[in-house]
Amino acid sequence: MVEVLSIADIVGLAFSALRERRLRSILTILGIAIGPAAMVSIIGTTEGYTSTIVDQLQSLGQNTVVIFPAKDYRLSDYDVDRLKSLDEVDVLTPFYQSRGQFRKPDGTTMILTIYALDLNLLNKIVVGSKIVDGVVPPPTLYTYCVAGDKVVSSDNVRYYGVGDAITFIVPLMKENKLTLKTVSTRISGILAPYGSVFPVNPDESIFLPIQAGKSLLNLKDYSGIFIIVKSAELVDSLVNKIKEIYGDNVQIISLKEIAKTVSNIINILDNLFFTVSSISFAVAFTGIMSTMFTSVVERTREIGVLKALGFSSNDVLMLFLFESILMTLIGVIAGIVSGVIGAYFIAFRPLRLVGTWTVVSEPKITLWLITRALGMSLMIGVAGGLLPAWKASKMVPVEALRYE
């Protein structure tokens, strides 16, 4: 019968060896912890942002396309009719867009976005938006608006209700001079809180009937056209057609394309971060190896004694290998825990993307991410410890006993 050392005994002996060289062991463990900590915090945060951004873009509707004039091109009713005639288009609405400064009753000032558009299409453009109070004003009542949640309230205190007037200041170009105009509208409907999304941020916007663009905001040309495509599959074909018609004269924003591009970019970033954190694994590998080699040399005589007492080469190999595995396990657990804390710390600050589009996201710490960090660490722990352990096991006992 072959006597095999029990795992409990091996772990006990390995612990005792690590305890003896406490400082060196702690430093090696810290070196090991950096890899999984970096991996979990960076990738966990990135994946959290990815899923939030992609979810938001998808929630906006995959069949929404927005076009804005580029260069000096001016969008007119001619363009609206031309686009309407395209097979892929379900409905569309041109819109006017402006920014206004607005002072709330609590004394705070906010910059709001004002849209003038076909309000019947509001819940198609801002998918899932709901009127919680009041109604959508008819197109003729162009001084009546639908207001976003943050326009009528702050910190859950509602300042305005349906029927109240709100006044804001908008910039105006008059004879090539920038002037300011005070605009008053009356609230007809209030939107439920929606959350910040791109390209529309409904919470900090007010929506007016389309006629308000000319009459109230004094804008001559359309700021853009919202197009709802018949189905998401037709988006690419529509985008191609618009490109053919307008060339560089318009800028096309397709939410489907954006979601795809964002996903692609983040995937590339994900791989990049994975590669970068892998470098710290390589550093940990050399750290483990050098610590273990030093340990083997310092304990040469001990190895000779163990062999004289009846420990086989395999036993010695296991003892040394377990030391590196034990260091790795402690390091990887410390690394993952600090990685998770780090990820929440990084994600604590909202990520500002474009304009007012900020993303607040919880890090996404998946089992796959933990498994990857754990697997890679254990792999380097075993690989880094194997050669020194093998060297220890192959020591000739007599030479080891004579080692000074």
Partner 1 sequence: MDAEIIKLVNVSKVYVSAGGVQTWALRGVNLVIRRGEFISIMGPSGHGKTTLLYMIGTLEKPTSGKVFIDGYDTTVMSDEELSRLRNKKIGFVFQQYNLINRMTVEENVELPLIKLGLPRSKRKELVEESLLKVGCELSWLKKRPIQLSGGQQQRVAIARALVANPQIILCDEPTGALDSKSAEVVLDILRKLNMLGHTIIMVTHDANVASIAKKILLIRDGNIVGEKII
9 binds partner 1 (CB under 8 A): yes
CB of 391: closest distance to partner 1 in angstroms?
Answer: 15
Question: Cβ closer to partner 1: 5 or 360?
Answer: 5
105 lies in the binding site for partner 1 (CB under 8 A): no
Interface with partner 1 includes 19 (CB under 8 A)? yes
Q: How many residues does the chain have?
A: 404
114: phi then psi, degrees, rounded to nearest 5: -110, 125
13 binds partner 1 (CB under 8 A): yes
Least Cβ distance, residue 392 to partner 1 (angstroms): 14
Distance between CA atoms of 140 and 211, rounded to whole angstroms? 7
HEC-encoded secondary structure of 307-335: HHCCCCHHHHHHHHHHHHHHHHHHHHHHH
User: Which listed range, 2-10, 33-41, 46-54, 147-155, lies at the site for partner 1 (CB under 8 A)?
Assistant: 2-10
Q: Is 292 in the site for partner 1 (CB under 8 A)?
A: no
* Size of interface with partner 1, in residues (CB under 8 A): 28
Minimum CB distance to partner 1, residue 299 (Å): 9
What is the C-alpha separation between 348 and 357, in angstroms, rounded?
Answer: 16
Q: How far is the CB of 312 from partner 1 (least distance, A)?
A: 4
Paired tokens of 21: 């060289």
Handedness of CA 16, 21, 24, 27 (dihedral sign): positive
User: Smallest distance, Å, CB 316 to partner 1?
Assistant: 10
301 Cβ partners below 8 Å, 6+ apart? 400, 401, 403
Q: From the CB of 28, what's the least distance to partner 1, in Å?
A: 17
- 301 part of the interface to partner 1, by CB under 8 A: yes
Amino acid present at 46: T
Q: Are strands 357-359 and 144-147 parallel, antiparallel or unpaired?
A: unpaired
d(CA 217, CA 221): 11
Give the residue among 86, 124, 78 at the shortest CA–CA distance from 221: 78
**In this chain, which of 54, 305, 333, 386 binds partner 1, going by CB under 8 A?**
305
Would you say 5 or 141 has its CB closer to partner 1? 5
Residue 295 Cβ vs partner 1, minimum distance, rounded to whole Å: 12
Q: Does 311 bind partner 1 (CB under 8 A)?
A: yes
Q: Residue 3, interface with partner 1 (CB under 8 A)?
A: yes
User: Smallest distance, Å, CB 305 to partner 1?
Assistant: 5
- Give the residue among 154, 128, 124, 142 at the shortest CA–CA distance from 206: 142
Q: Determine, following the binding rule CB under 8 A, whether residue 323 of this chain makes contact with partner 1.
A: no
Alpha-carbon gap, residue 166 to 148, rounded angstroms: 12
State the nearest-atom distance from the C-beta of 20 to partner 1, in Å.
4
Are β-strands 153-154 and 157-158 bridged in parallel, bridged antiparallel, or unpaired?
antiparallel
In the set 124, 150, 256, 307, which binds partner 1 (CB under 8 A)?
A: 307
Q: Under the criterion CB under 8 A, does residue 77 sit at the interface with partner 1? A: no
233 binding partner 1? (CB under 8 A)? no
Interaction of residue 401 with partner 1, rule CB under 8 A: yes
Tell me: does residue 298 bind partner 1 (CB under 8 A).
no
Residue 305 Cα distances to 187, 340, 398, 402, angstroms: 89, 44, 9, 10
How far apart CA 145 and CA 127 sit, in angstroms, is: 18
Q: Does 23 bind partner 1 (CB under 8 A)?
A: no
Does 14 participate in binding partner 1 (rule CB under 8 A)?
no
CA distances from 186 to 1, 132, 331, 334 (A): 92, 16, 62, 58
5 is a contact residue toward partner 1 (CB under 8 A): yes
Q: Does 314 bind partner 1 (CB under 8 A)?
A: yes
DSSP state of 142: T
Q: What DSSP string describes 237-263?
A: HHHHHHHHHHGGGEEEEEHHHHHHHHH
Choices 90-98, 298-306, 325-333, 358-366; region in contact with partner 1 by CB under 8 A: 298-306
Stretch that binds partner 1, among 206-214, 308-316, 333-341, 381-389 (CB under 8 A): 308-316
- Which residues are near partner 1 by CB under 8 A? 2-6, 9, 13, 16-17, 19-20, 301-302, 304-315, 397-398, 401
